[in-house]
Amino acid sequence: MLQAIFHAWEHRLASVTKDRVVRPFEWGLDWIPQNGHAAGVPRVDGDQPSAILSNWVSSVMADTDAFYSLPPTDEYTLRAAPDGPGGNVLTFPSALVTPHETNNTVYCRYYPARLKGSRYNSHFRAAVLVLPQWNAEPGGHVGLCRLLAWNGLSALRLSLPYHDQRMPPELHRADYIVSANIARTVQVCRQAVLDARRAIAWLASQGYDRIGVLGTSLGSCLALLTAAHEPLIDAAALNHISPHFADVVWRGLSTRHVREGLDGHIDLDLLRALWKPISPRWYLDRLRDRRTLLVYARYDLTFPVDLSEDLVRAFGEHGVPHEVAVLPCGHYSTGKAPFKFLDGWILTRFLKKELLGSA
């Protein structure tokens, strides 16, 4: 009975959004190096687009450190926020340049921790990079950032690619980070990881010696990819989880319009293979030296529960240190009272324990 109630509520909450657009299927060869002729990947004239992308993905997976590497930058600017959800605004250039100029500057909101008369914890200076969900509004996760700061953890909230100020005028939603364009989805998610790594580099430059990452939904996937490639991260809190990027898009309630664009052009097995570079399942062995919190919702229709349980099982099979929390709600209802308070408490408690040594 509870499942039926929550599933009906999830459908109602999902139906509030009326501006979802079914965009055409594209392989996105213009988004990969030399139109598919990446270094070490020979291209034969007449190759099918799927074969070109498969070769490119194979080269990426052979060295994901190179794929997610980036040059350092000192072009950081921190200024007071003029309005909006508060916090100081940090900006810096993205390491991946896209065709949309507005998307090539990264925006973060910074909420420094204050303890006992503005004095930081005497043992550690700890900070958390926060990656919100797909299509999060500018004020999304700001309450969580303030909760973290109140608990002694400075918070840096990153606006994902094609979100907020980074959205070009032709978009109403952040369609270019998750779409029926295969290679673009990989590259824009990669851009988010590179942006996250530059944000973490800034935190380290500010003297933070304990750094965590917290991601929700799409942000959870990106947070795991970041943790797998960024040695400065000490702990990761992953809020709504799946082992495979493709399966969530294929089966999830929130991505039915993306699935419509994919139908008839590609099957799930090939999609899963082509989106391997942005799928958490392939990076678990890289998380053995840090603690990870896995959170999922019992009545989730956007990240189907069996997928979440598969990832938890994979963590156990690979012997990766982790904790698990199961929310008694669905995906959208996680953002509603009282469940948002429970979720915030679980996430903050874990990060405070791992980064400050206190719950």
Among the listed residues 327, 342, 278, the one whose alpha carbon sits nearest the alpha carbon of residue 10: 327
Helix (H) or strand (E) holding 130: strand 126-131
Angstrom distance (rounded) from CA 233 to CA 218 = 19
Question: 2-31+63-356, superfamily in CATH?
Answer: Alpha/Beta hydrolase fold, catalytic domain (3.40.50.1820)
Instruction: Per-residue pLDDT tens, the chain, 359 aa: give them.
Output: 899 999 999 999 999 888 899 999 999 999 998 644 444 445 554 579 999 999 999 999 999 999 999 999 999 999 987 766 677 999 999 999 999 999 999 999 999 997 654 444 445 699 999 999 999 988 889 999 999 999 999 999 999 999 999 999 999 999 999 999 999 999 999 999 999 999 999 999 999 999 999 999 999 999 999 999 999 999 999 999 999 999 999 999 999 999 999 999 999 999 999 999 999 999 999 999 999 999 999 999 999 999 999 999 999 999 999 999 999 999 999 999 999 999 999 999 999 999 998 65
Give the DSSP letter string of 70-81: -------EEE--
pTM: 0.94
Extents of the domains making up the chain: 2-31+63-356
SS3 175: coil
